[in-house]
Every structure is written in structure tokens, then in C-alpha cells.
Amino acid sequence: MAYSDDKINMVHGAGGEVMQDMISDIILGNLSKTSVNGGIGLESLDDSATIPLDDDHVVVTTIDAHTVQPLFFPGGDIGRISAAGTLNDISVMGVKPVSLSNAMVISEGFERSDLERIIKSMNETCEEVDAAIITGDTKVIDSDKLDSMIITTAGIGIGKKEDVVRDSGLEVGDKVIITGSVGDHGMAIMSKREGFGYETELKSDVAPVWSMVEAAKEVGTITAMKDPTRGGIANALNEMATKASVGMRLDEERIPVKPEVEAVSDMLGIDPFEVANEGKIVMGVKADDAEDILQAIRKTKYGKDAEIIGEVTEGKRVIMETLIGGERLIEPPIADPVPRVC
């Protein structure tokens, strides 16, 4: 995928190594203060930041902009993804999300009925985790300046410091869990765009993940978590391993991929491990707790297809044992191959 060092391109906003380089060089390189009161800050590049309130409690906060096209897709819409995406970034820090702020930039001529549908979808998603939409902003822009709408959501969670889970906490011997099938969102978007006709079978997985986090925390110890959005599980697994200075050994046979996802993947030549998921968690857990956590997740609404897919090892490579008995190095993608996926 070609890109310029002098211009911002689509690849710079698609997750993966190119976006990480831009964040490090241009954004972090020009900011003088990136955390508050010793909390987790921007420099950690975790899913959310924390602001300590006192010796025991923290506010967990994050913000996301959403530009997904099409606005309505099999299994969801921009309202659901804008709510779930932010709620999930709070949730995978181990803390229950309590609120969203919502800012919308809308193209002139946008259908009022579509806007109402989107707001209802946001509300229904928040209701699933009992989170409130507490403030917001709305702007309208010339139709030739914006093709539809952009939604930016900021989230807040409040919890104890001891509840917070980092994405950098993996330890050798931990088991790795994925809470369901991979590649569903990215491939549902591409199937809709390309008109492949899989809309009745293949749907986005976009959903709030808090119920799975809560269930897991009740029965065992989570050492690290991440929601594998842009760049897919390939990006999430590598980021977690790199931050913890560990490796992973995965079993391809145990990584759930739906037949419809494989079909679209084959037609487009896209690796389903590198495309976004919007309702899944990559989770490192203590080995002794892994089976109990797996069963707890499977009992939740969105976790029935969860699997233990591997373990954390020495070294700094993510290696997958393939179905044919070989080994494959899972590398971080340059970027998610599906643009405007979230």
C-alpha cells in the first residue's frame, strides 16, 4: 500500500504501523504534557486514559471519531458503532462505562428520518450497558464539503485503580482468549460495498463488550485486554506482545472465522486477521483461570463463540501453528485493508 511521507493519506488513519508512526512522530513528538496526576496518558497508546481522583479511584476516558461508509450496514449503523466503539475502549480497561458525549457533523440535505434512526441506535447501544448520553454538539456543513456525517463520541468510566487492566500486562504462561469470530465487521462492510450478496448471512459484530469483561473479571484474573478494531487481531496481538516484551504461540484451528468471512476474504485477497472487529476482545488471562473465564464469557450475549487460541511465550514474535501443520508469523499490518470501516 503506497503512501507519501509528506502528505496525510488514508493509510495514516487505518490502524497498523503507519498510523502508529504518525502518532509517535507528529502528535506525541509535539505535545509537552500527555497525562494527569500520574495516570495512564496518551504516550501509553492504550485504549483509554485514566485520571486518578484519589488514592483508590480513577476516571477512565477516551474519544473516537467515526466516518464509516456506508452509514447503514448489515448488523449495524454509524450510531451503533459510534456508541459501541467508545464504550468498548472504556470496557477493555476493566472499568464499566457510565456516559458518552456525542458530537455530530452532518451534511446539509441529510434525511431527518436517517438521523432519528441513528440516534435511536446509539441510545439502544448505551442502554445495553446502562450508560447515559449526557452532552453533545451538532454542526451542519455544506453538502459538497461532507458526503454524509461524522460522529465523535467521548466516553467516561469510573472505577477503582485496582480494576484497571492495561494492554501491556501479558506474562509468560498466560492464555490468550478471543471472545468470538474474527473479521466479521470489516468483511460485512466490504461485502455491502462490493455487492457480493452475503448481507443475509454476514453481519457486523458491532456490540458493547462490557458484559463479557464483567463476566470474566468475576471468575478470574485478566492480565491484559484490547479490542481488535482497525488492523484486526494481527495488530492487537502484536501490540500487546510488543508492549509486554513477550511472544505468543497461537493455534489456527482454534481461531473462529465464519465461512462467509473466509469467502469474502478469498475474493478480495484480504487477510481476515487484519480487518476490524467491533464487538470482540483479545484477552490475556492467568492459565489457571482460563477455562473458568472462557465458560463465563460463553454464557454472555455476545460470547458464545469465544475460544482459548494460544498462550504467551518467551521471545517477541507472534507465531501461529497452521491447519496444515506449519508455522506462520503473524506480523502487524501496515494498515487495515478496509478503509472507512469505523
Residue 70, pLDDT score: 94
40-92 residue pLDDT tens: 999 888 899 999 999 999 999 999 999 999 999 999 999 999 999 999 999 99
Contact 252, 315 (CB under 8 A): no
Contact 341, 68 (CB under 8 A): yes
Q: Which residue has the higher pLDDT, 321 or 325?
A: 321
Please report where in the chains the cell 469510573 appears, as a residue: 158
Q: Phi then psi for 239, rounded to 5 degrees? A: -65, -45
Do 220 and 154 have their domain in common?
Answer: no
Do 145 and 215 have their domain in common?
Answer: no
Residue 313 lies in a domain: yes
Do 156 and 221 have their domain in common?
Answer: no
Q: What is the mean pLDDT of the chain?
A: 92
Residue 123, pLDDT score: 98
Q: CA nearest 216: which of 320, 308, 107, 289?
A: 289
Do 39 and 97 have their domain in common?
Answer: yes
Do 205 and 103 have their domain in common?
Answer: no
**Cα separation of 267 and 80, whole Å?**
28
Q: How many CA atoms lie within 13 A of 287 on its CB side?
A: 8
Report residue 199's pLDDT band, with 50, 70 and 90 as the boundaries: low
Strand partners, 104: 138, 151
Domain boundary among 143, 163, 183: 163
Average pLDDT over residues 256-280: 93
Percent of the chain at pLDDT above 70? 93
Q: CA nearest 242: which of 307, 182, 318?
A: 318
* Cα Rg, the chain, nearest whole Å: 19
| Cβ-based neighbours of 303, under 8 Å, separated by 6 or more | 179, 180, 211, 212, 215, 297
**Cα separation of 292 and 174, whole Å?**
14
Do 96 and 207 have their domain in common?
Answer: no
For the chain, the first-to-last Cα distance in angstroms comes to 19
Residue 16, pLDDT score: 59
Do 198 and 315 have their domain in common?
Answer: yes
**Cα separation of 202 and 296, whole Å?**
26
Do 149 and 30 have their domain in common?
Answer: yes
Residue 1 has pLDDT above 50, yes or no: no
Residue 258 has pLDDT above 90, yes or no: yes
Do 16 and 40 have their domain in common?
Answer: yes
Report residue 339's pLDDT band, with 50, 70 and 90 as the boundaries: confident
The residue ranges of DSSP E strands in the chain, in sequence order, are: 49-52, 57-66, 72-73, 76-77, 97-107, 132-141, 149-160, 175-178, 222-226, 247-251, 282-285, 307-313, 318-321, 327-329
Do 244 and 265 have their domain in common?
Answer: yes
Average pLDDT over residues 178-198: 88
Lowest mean pLDDT among 142-151, 237-246, 331-340: 331-340
Residue 336 lies in a domain: no
Do 158 and 211 have their domain in common?
Answer: no
Q: Which domain holds residue 143?
A: 10-163
Residue 159 lies in a domain: yes
**What counts of helices (H) and strands (E) characterise the chain?**
8, 14
Report residue 154's pLDDT band, with 50, 70 and 90 as the boundaries: very high
205-228 residue pLDDT tens: 999 999 999 999 999 999 999 999
Residue 56 lies in a domain: yes
| Cβ-based neighbours of 24, under 8 Å, separated by 6 or more | none
Residue 335 lies in a domain: no
240-254 residue pLDDT tens: 999 999 999 999 999
Residue 44 lies in a domain: yes
Residue 28 has pLDDT above 90, yes or no: no
Residue 31, pLDDT score: 83
Residue 192 lies in a domain: yes
Looking up residue 43, the CATH number of its domain turns out to be 3.30.1330.10
| Domains: count for the chain | 2
**Cα separation of 224 and 176, whole Å?**
9
Domain boundary among 163, 194, 223: 163
Lowest mean pLDDT among 23-27, 94-98, 182-186, 300-304: 23-27
Average pLDDT over residues 259-277: 92
**pTM, full prediction:** 0.92
The number of residues in the chain equals 342
Looking up residue 253, the CATH number of its domain turns out to be 3.90.650.10
Do 124 and 21 have their domain in common?
Answer: yes
Residue 3 lies in a domain: no
Residue 3 has pLDDT above 60, yes or no: no
